């Protein structure tokens, strides 16, 4: 049986609508994956909270404080300044709008004589904080990769 022309039009319109909705969904998914890590983390407020907790943990880490150079720096450098600098750096490295204004990683850590064991202790604290704040696995991997990219400039002994 032949359908009426108006029925055919309705079918065509419904098909077009489904196509448009499908395209919109694909576009939304693409926009999601194109988001910077900075945006996926929620911007500078959540980033600064994670950095704040992370540095508070580092400051009482016994493995790190057994190194006299780290212990002396911890007592000399204001924690708030360190948190500000690290937040600025993370913001920039994750694609955010900040411009890091501190010193390079080699220059700012050379006098601390940081070892592989101390690096691993720092990473354990870092992962603990990311887990506690519920940072998803993908974003954690990207953040750890950013941190790892600085290792050669920071770790100077076994």
Binding of ligand HEM by 114 (CB under 6 A): yes
Chosen residue from 13, 35, 103, 138 binding ligand HEM by CB under 6 A: 103
Kindly tell me the burial class for residue 114, based on how many C-beta atoms sit within 10 Å of its own C-beta (0-12, 13-18, 19 or more). Answer: buried
Cα(73)–Cα(65) distance, rounded to whole angstroms? 10
What backbone torsions phi and psi does residue 22 show, to the nearest 5 degrees? -60, -45
Around Cβ 18, how many Cβ atoms within 10 Å? 10
Cα(96)–Cα(35) distance, rounded to whole angstroms? 11
By beta-carbon proximity to ligand HEM, the closer residue of 39 and 116 is 116
* 121: Cβ contacts below 8 Å, ≥ 6 apart: 61, 63, 64
Binding of ligand HEM by 70 (CB under 6 A): yes
Binding of ligand HEM by 38 (CB under 6 A): no
From the CB of 120, what's the least distance to ligand HEM, in Å? Answer: 8
Stretch that binds ligand HEM, among 17-25, 26-34, 42-50, 74-82 (CB under 6 A): 74-82
126 and 150 in contact (C-beta within 8 Å)?
A: no
Binding of ligand HEM by 130 (CB under 6 A): no
Chosen residue from 40, 48, 53, 85 binding ligand HEM by CB under 6 A: 85
Around Cβ 46, how many Cβ atoms within 10 Å? 13
By beta-carbon proximity to ligand HEM, the closer residue of 15 and 97 is 97
Chosen residue from 49, 98, 147, 156 binding ligand HEM by CB under 6 A: 147
Footprint on this chain of ligand HEM (rule: CB under 6 A): 64, 70, 73-74, 77, 82, 85-86, 89, 102-103, 108-109, 112, 114, 118-119, 122, 147, 150, 154
């Amino acid at each position: 049986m032949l359908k009426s022309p108006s029925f055919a039009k309705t079918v065509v319109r419904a098909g077009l609508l489904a196509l448009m909705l499908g395209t919109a969904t694909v576009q939304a998914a693409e926009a999601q994956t194109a988001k910077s890590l900075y945006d996926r983390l929620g911007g500078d407020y959540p980033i600064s909270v994670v950095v704040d907790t992370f540095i508070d943990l580092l400051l009482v880490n016994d493995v790190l404080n057994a190194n006299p150079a780290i212990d002396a720096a911890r007592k000399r450098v204001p924690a708030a300044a360190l948190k500000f600098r690290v937040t600025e750096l993370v913001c920039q490295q994750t694609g955010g709008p900040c411009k890091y204004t501190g010193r390079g990683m080699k220059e700012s850590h050379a006098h601390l004589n940081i070892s592989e064991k101390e690096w691993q202790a720092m990473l354990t604290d870092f992962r603990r904080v990311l887990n506690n704040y519920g940072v998803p696995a993908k974003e954690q991997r990207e953040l750890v990769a950013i941190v790892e990219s600085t290792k050669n400039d920071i770790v100077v002994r076994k």
